[in-house]
Structure 1
Amino acid sequence: MRTSHLSLKAAALVTVLGLTLTACGGNSTTAAPAEGAPTASGEPVEGGTFTFAEVTPINNWQTQAARFYEKANVLNSVLDRLTYFDVESGKLVGWIAKDFKANKEQTEFTFTIRDGVTFSDGSALDAEAVKLNLDALGLGIKDAQIAPNVDFGAYKSAEVVGENQVKVTLKRPDANFLRATSSVAAGLVSPKTLKLDNAGQSAIAKIVGSGPFVFESEKPDEEVVFTSRDDYAWAPETAPNQGDAYLDSLVVKYLPEVASRAGAAQSGQVDLVRGLQPVDEQVLAANGGQVFAAQGVDLTTNQAAVRIGSGKLADAKVRQALQVGIDRQAIKDTVLSDSYVVAGSILNHKAPGFVDLSSEIAYNPEKSKQLLDEAGWKVGADGIREKDGEKLEITVATSNNSVVIKPAFELIEQQWRDLGVKLVNRAADNTFLVNALVDDKVEFFGTRQFALGGLGPVYAPANNTQTLNSDEELNKLFAKEQAATSEEEHLKLVEEEQRALVLDKALTLVLWDEVQVYGANKSAHVEFTSGTAPIFQGAWKSEG
């Protein structure tokens, strides 16, 4: 049965313009409204169409590739997962798996599947369907040229056991495996979908899930329309709405023009839009709209991942110098807004295992200069440091997905110039990024990544697309963390990973906690997952 009202969670992980982060929130993240905007209290209104504006069109909806917001934010409402990360408790809770357990060695995991769950084509989402999905996630689908999910690197096999149970066996211990089953990239699709070729599994019209919304129609590069599923009754166990969606339909439009997003929300052209510029947040809030900053608990902070292939950053002292040569508060005050939280580590402040390293990475230009001197980089006649006839000129590459990434690195460029370091800023240059992704001589890769538990899956060389470095000591630490047999031991090792990556080795220069800033009109009521995806199953619109 439906809940009689929308249970609002404390604003732990989402802030509105002008407000600061408060205490722990609920199973989803929500925000207090901006001054003058409506509150999200009251009874949910049944019916209506909710229009959501995404940043860019998507042409590949294949589940394994749902590691980008444009995909994950939509597939979150189409595909259910075995587990769900509950923000309030910081624990995994049941979803399609009503119960799950692991052996002490973290090499075997048993899932008990809920009864009565069906895909939208009427087929059963039972233990056999789950086994097929796990095999696809862990082993890939060779015939369809679909690679394994990177978070399932330890996967060996799955078998149906008992009554509606699935047992997974791993090749090695992995304390983060359960958490990976909560990711949108581990979304469950029907066995018929798994039999399709790559093109079929990439087409949103052909993907069959068990989620609260079902594909209805598509206008390529313009919009995708979904209708709610009336018989949906298997939301995550802590979801405020345990029934089908309040909405009748969901329309996903594309709005690549950054300057148009706030106006679209304010005018009612869309109900919700992702990717507001900081300058537009205040304007929207002042005109009766709402600004939501969905904190990415499931992701690393925004960072400059370090590559040492050029040799210029091979010395840890140089990397440590650049770490304390960043004035993060100045970046927030100049480029960002109150929706953003200055990074204290590589993990988001609200992520399990976060350790606050703020004092150790605080802006200290004198220490930075000292470290650069000790590393043998001396200031040249033009003010740029040099060593053995080579200038300390380094390059950063990023995608253009973030509306703040380019101006942020422009400010870092100025800060480092005062240290005698020249930064070539190729942030938001997608053309340059294509080659930079595989070029270890490009010293920095601006990024944020899903970190579902530990940091090994993100930084271990076996699947490392970030630093392109290989570090034996880190590998040993990552393996130890994944083999942890207790939560206490695991969190301790996650702390060691953070200290190694941020301080000792300084292989990541952390900037701010990952956040996706959304704008909404005054009628929209919506919460967000720990991965910043809107929860349309619980969304609704005020009347009038």
Structure 2
Amino acid sequence: MLNQITDKLTYQNPKTLKIEPWIASSWKVNKEASKYVFTLREGVTFSDGTPLDAAAVAKNFDAYGLGSEKLKLTVAEAINNYQASKVIDKNTVEFTFSKPSPGFLQATSVIGSGLVSPKTLVLPYEEQCQLKNLVGSGPFTVANQVIDKEIDLKAREDYAWGPASAAHTGRAYLDGIKIIVTPEDSVRIGSLTSGQADAVRYVQAFDENAVEAASYQLYAPATRGVNNSLSLHPDNPLLTDIDVRRALLHGVDTQELVDTVFSANYPQATAVLSSQALGYQDQSAKLAYDPELSNKLLDGAGWVTGADGIRTKDAKALALDVYVSNAQPQSKETLELISQQLGRIGAKLNIKPQDAGSYATDIKDADKTAIFHSMVGRADQDVIKSQHHTKNRNTLVSSDKKLDGLLEAIASEPDAAKRNAAVATARDYLIDNAYVIPLFEEPQVFGTADYVRGFGFEAVGRPSFYDTWLLARDPEILRTRTLRDKDIIHNTREGMPRAERELAATATSRSNGCIFCASVHSRFASHQAKAPAHVQRLLDAGTDADQGPRWRAIIDASVALTATPSRLDAGHVDALREAGLDELEISDVVHGAAFFNWANRLMLSLGEPTPPAAG
């Protein structure tokens, strides 16, 4: 929602993670990262007509960086060591910090730093939370809201200041967006597959196959932060002993979890941080599933297995209270499976529903809750501080001053290499003390109709509809073409694996210059093959870029077939055989390239691969 109605001072490119201009046209940062000066672009206004100038930006970040006890606003977790703002002139604003704040530049791009009108900032917290009072400068405005039911957004006609790397400039393509609140999974998916909705958020893993089988697009952008994890509360009476926490860490089989409850879009965690997070390093050797070690640790800690299979010590059972986290995908199912796994070592989880009246207070009390299920997404090293510092989310409900110091070092180290080293130290401290059990990398999963184009995401997977548009279509023709497309791509019972089918489609589309098709199929090729660098090389350097022999043969055959007239000959078929492809796989290359050669030309016949200007 906020991404549609507010803009940010800067833009974090979701592909490169580089910080790019947006409302700020340029900036300067001193060597210590304790002073930032931003120059703003001209002519930007909030939807109430108020200029988005240096004074407005200063007021926004004073609110985010300092908070307000009067307005009940806490300091934004993304902003560290904030001291003051200074308006230099109408279009120049300076921010100073009490200590280095290397994460601040990226913090100006996050959803929580959306710029709002000064008229919004002076409202009490309760009124700021009402969408009708949230006045931004974004491409859409709130036209109507029925609380807990639906929200209508309307395109802002005079919008002309999107990020430089956006696919277009000016007004959003869509005239409006209707967002319908649909908590029930089956109803949400049914609304998509029945044609009632153009897009849905929160496609659960068990619905992914149904969405794709019904010829809809599935997107699973990464959140690039702290993985979906269990935070163990070290001050809980049952968890004060590090050996008990270590036993739990090695008693959870995360591979079984992702194989049983989730899909390939939820990779097994290999560290505290996502493999796509800044500062990531593999910690999988410290996370190995080892129930034998778990039992040994619990035996040594004096926990004795009872007749019911649950261990006890001093007349207390090793039964740990944990609440379902409604914000996490399939949290209840996740906790239930983990409880079964822990039962093998003599422990169990007492799983409580989040809607219990005591939830809000219990999760902040280590005596009442032993474990907390959560994650946090942010494409910056400071994300680990946001999750675990006692003045931020404090998911450990701990007063570990040493950990606080390690996290503060990340947030105040201006040297990039030293900052990543500080991340490594904090990350290892969390695992060495068995404070957390990383489970899986949590994506944001969306499904859209085939005619939805330009469906974009910010750096941590939240949607952006600025570049989104709808392709005009004949439903019957679209259905026939889509079924053929899906058969070529998804029918992998025989022949080539999905990754190489997507590769053939990508190579064909790259050769033809069809940006849309190349973008879609390269994304799936990267995901299926787990080789994003190789696919990106194909996109960046072209079809002649260096590749392995099998991919080389597939690309060459696809490009040859694409030529007019076709250059595909027996030599290409021989090369495919020499690369290890059998007859069915060779047939898949030919049919896939031929289909997408036609599909590319159909798309390109519509004109340039850019939708027409709005209005």
Asked if Structure 1 and Structure 2 have the same fold, meaning a TM-score greater than 0.5 normalized by the shorter chain, the answer is yes
CA deviations on 1:217-246 (whole Å, 9 max, x unpaired) are: 222332111111222222223222333211
Instruction: Indicate the larger mover: 198-207 or 285-294.
Output: 198-207
**In structure 2, how many angstroms separate the alpha carbons of the residues matched to 1:392 and 1:195?**
50
Instruction: Indicate the larger mover: 424-433 or 170-179.
Output: 424-433
The answer as to whether partners of 1:437 and 1:465 remain within 8 angstroms in 2 is no
Alignment match, 2:65: 138
> 2:267 aligned with 1:341, yes or no?
yes
Alignment match, 2:100: 173
The answer as to whether partners of 2:55 and 2:90 remain within 8 angstroms in 1 is no
Alignment match, 2:381: 453
Alignment match, 1:379: 305
The answer as to whether partners of 2:80 and 2:101 remain within 8 angstroms in 1 is no
**CA RMSD of superposed structures (Å):** 1.9
The structural deviation recorded for 1:383 is 2.1
> 2:42 aligned with 1:115, yes or no?
yes
> Partner letter of residue 436 of structure 2?
T
Instruction: Indicate the larger mover: 175-184 or 325-334.
Output: 175-184
- Secondary structure of the residue aligned to 1:499 is helix
Alignment match, 2:294: 368
The aligned length equals 469
CA deviations on 1:113-132 (whole Å, 9 max, x unpaired) are: 12221111222111111011
> 2:442 aligned with 1:510, yes or no?
no
> Partner letter of residue 392 of structure 2?
N
Q: Where does 1:6-17 land on structure 2 (aligned, <5 Å)?
A: none
Alignment match, 2:276: 350
**In structure 2, how many angstroms separate the alpha carbons of the residues matched to 1:168 and 1:430?**
43
More helix per residue: 1 or 2? 2
Normalised by the size of structure 2, how large is the TM-score? 0.73
- Secondary structure of the residue aligned to 1:234 is coil
2:448 to 490, 496, 520: 520
> Partner letter of residue 59 of structure 2?
L
**In structure 1, how many angstroms separate the alpha carbons of the residues matched to 2:349 and 2:142?**
46
The answer as to whether partners of 1:397 and 1:446 remain within 8 angstroms in 2 is yes
Normalised by the size of structure 1, how large is the TM-score? 0.82
Q: Where does 1:124-523 land on structure 2 (aligned, <5 Å)?
A: 124-161=51-88, 164-297=91-224, 299-426=225-352, 428-441=354-367, 442-451=369-378, 452-454=380-382, 455-501=384-430, 503-523=431-451
**In structure 2, how many angstroms separate the alpha carbons of the residues matched to 1:428 and 1:321?**
26
Q: Where does 1:95-110 land on structure 2 (aligned, <5 Å)?
A: 95-110=22-37
Alignment match, 1:533: 462
Alignment match, 2:9: 82
**In structure 2, how many angstroms separate the alpha carbons of the residues matched to 1:367 and 1:243?**
60
- Secondary structure of the residue aligned to 1:462 is coil
The answer as to whether partners of 1:179 and 1:453 remain within 8 angstroms in 2 is no
The structural deviation recorded for 1:182 is 1.4
**In structure 2, how many angstroms separate the alpha carbons of the residues matched to 1:293 and 1:431?**
33
**In structure 2, how many angstroms separate the alpha carbons of the residues matched to 1:212 and 1:301?**
31
- Structure with larger RCO (C-alpha < 8 A, sep 6+): 1
The answer as to whether partners of 2:80 and 2:411 remain within 8 angstroms in 1 is no
CA deviations on 1:389-432 (whole Å, 9 max, x unpaired) are: 32211121133233411111111111110011122122555545
The answer as to whether partners of 1:399 and 1:430 remain within 8 angstroms in 2 is no
> Partner letter of residue 499 of structure 1?
D
- Secondary structure of the residue aligned to 1:280 is helix
Percent identical pairs in the alignment equals 35
**In structure 1, how many angstroms separate the alpha carbons of the residues matched to 2:315 and 2:70?**
52
In structure 2, runs of 5+ residues without a counterpart are 474-615
The structural deviation recorded for 1:213 is 0.5
Summarize the Cα distance change of 1:427–1:345 in structure 2 as closer, same or farther, 3 Å threshold. farther
The structural deviation recorded for 1:263 is 1.1
Summarize the Cα distance change of 1:346–1:219 in structure 2 as closer, same or farther, 3 Å threshold. same
**In structure 2, how many angstroms separate the alpha carbons of the residues matched to 1:542 and 1:431?**
47
Instruction: Indicate the larger mover: 83-92 or 339-348.
Output: 83-92
